[in-house]
Amino acid sequence: MTDSADLPIPEAIPCTTAFEIPGHVVDKHLGLTWGVLVRSVGFTKGITSSFRALKAGEVPQYTDVVDSARRDALQRLITHSQSMGANAVIGVRFDSSDVGGGDAGLSEILAYGTAVIIRPI
């Protein structure tokens, strides 16, 4: 199994959790940008991970699903930012929540930040 956390995220523009990008100045704030998706763990993974959850420790099936969902949400954030004319995103954050009740096995993953136009100093 490939650990997807070790794979680089193909960014088309700089994204950071900070509110500045070293060596650059923010010329214009374009506003809130986001990438959202709802992902299901899937029936088979759900059963397997339920058994694993009975003992202490990491549940790799859930880790893989959440990691993949965050990567997809970040890609959607980048796409949305570019459609706004941004060449960078600052203040990037992630949020997640259960959708459709806890028994549905659905999770919403949201990546959000501020779309900006930057230029080198």
CATH number at residue 70: 3.30.110.70
How many domains does the chain fold into? Answer: 1
Strand partners, 113: 33
Q: Enter the tokens of residue 61.
A: 């099936």
Q: Enter the tokens of residue 48.
A: 């397997």
- pLDDT (tens digit per residue) in 50-59: 555 556 677 7
- pLDDT > 70? residue 74: yes
Under the banding of pLDDT at 50, 70 and 90, the label for residue 18 is: very high
Where in the sequence is the domain holding 28, given as residue range(s)?
4-120
DSSP state of 22: T
Q: Are 118 and 26 in contact (CB under 8 A)?
A: yes
Tokens 């930012």, residue?
81
- pLDDT > 60? residue 79: yes
Dihedral sign from CA coordinates of 111, 112, 118, 121: negative
Q: Enter the tokens of residue 78.
A: 């980048």
Strand partners, 35: 111
CA distance 121 to 53: 50
- pLDDT > 90? residue 75: yes
